[in-house]
Amino acid sequence: MKWMIASDIHGSAFYCEKMLKAFKREQADKLLLLGDILYHGPRNDLPEGYAPKKVIEMLNNIKEKILCVRGNCDAEVDQMVLEFPIMADYAMITEGDLNIFATHGHHFNEKKLPPMFEKTQEGLILLHGHTHVPVCRVHESYTYMNPGSVSIPKENSEHSYMILENGAFWWKTLDGETYLNFKGSKPERGYCREEYRY
């Protein structure tokens, strides 16, 4: 299965449309959203093309392909208009030899690991958004990954997403340019600019 992984749309119809064009171009089977779908949040400026109602319509049109976890800006009122579940704090995904703990990042992150991370396991991945910064960092017992943000990237990063296929990860701009990839135990820089954290 081919996964597209994205986070932090924050109500931007402009960037949601670009993300969905990338999803179609990638011919991915599923879209994993790591939260913060409709609301921009009190700490963020309005993203370009802020139109939550349009985002609702676009995502509901592909509801059967979406797996989503709840972000700190997502609320029950959002669930009332979105036709796919968004209220789970995390999702566990097994893909080949990988065990992926997907969450938004405001509850579980590198500083507050999920309990299951206390025991070393092969292929253990902590995957979250929230920071709006793309990251791939290898720890002794797990690897931390972040796709960055679709609409409000931070620390000079690009509007981006990730692809997971056959045990390998690729970080890409919304235009499809790969800037980082990972398979095994070491991230490869690819086209990654030096200011990106990995």
Span 13-25, pLDDT tens digits: 999 999 999 999 9
Residue 187, pLDDT score:
72
CB 104 within 8 A of CB 5: no
Q: Which pLDDT score, from 0 to 100, does residue 198 have?
A: 38
Whether 30 has a pLDDT exceeding 90, the answer reads yes
Least-confidence region, from 42-46, 104-108, 129-133: 42-46
Question: What is residue 50's DSSP assignment?
Answer: B
Average pLDDT over residues 37-64: 95
Backbone torsions φ then ψ of 64, nearest 5 degrees: -70, -10
pLDDT at 123 over 90: no
| pLDDT of 196 over the 70 cut | no
Residue 90 reports pLDDT greater than 90: yes
- Taking residues 140-153, report their average pLDDT: 94
Residues β-bridged to residue 50:
12
pLDDT, residue 49, reads: 97
Q: How confident is the model at residue 116 (pLDDT cuts 50, 70, 90)?
A: confident
- The predicted structure's pLDDT at residue 193: 37
pLDDT at 45 over 50: yes
Q: At 197, is the secondary structure helix, strand, or coil?
A: coil
Q: What is the pLDDT of residues 33-42, one digit of tens each?
A: 999 999 988 8
Mean pLDDT for 109-119 is: 88
What pLDDT score does 189 carry?
57
How high is the pLDDT of residue 60? 98
pLDDT, residue 12, reads 98
pTM of the model: 0.93
Backbone angles phi, psi at 15, to 5 degrees: -80, -25
CA distance 66 to 169: 18
CA–CA–CA angle 46, 48, 51 (5° rounding): 75
Structure tokens at 86: 């968004």
- Helix 13-26 to helix 52-60 angle, to the nearest 10 degrees? 20
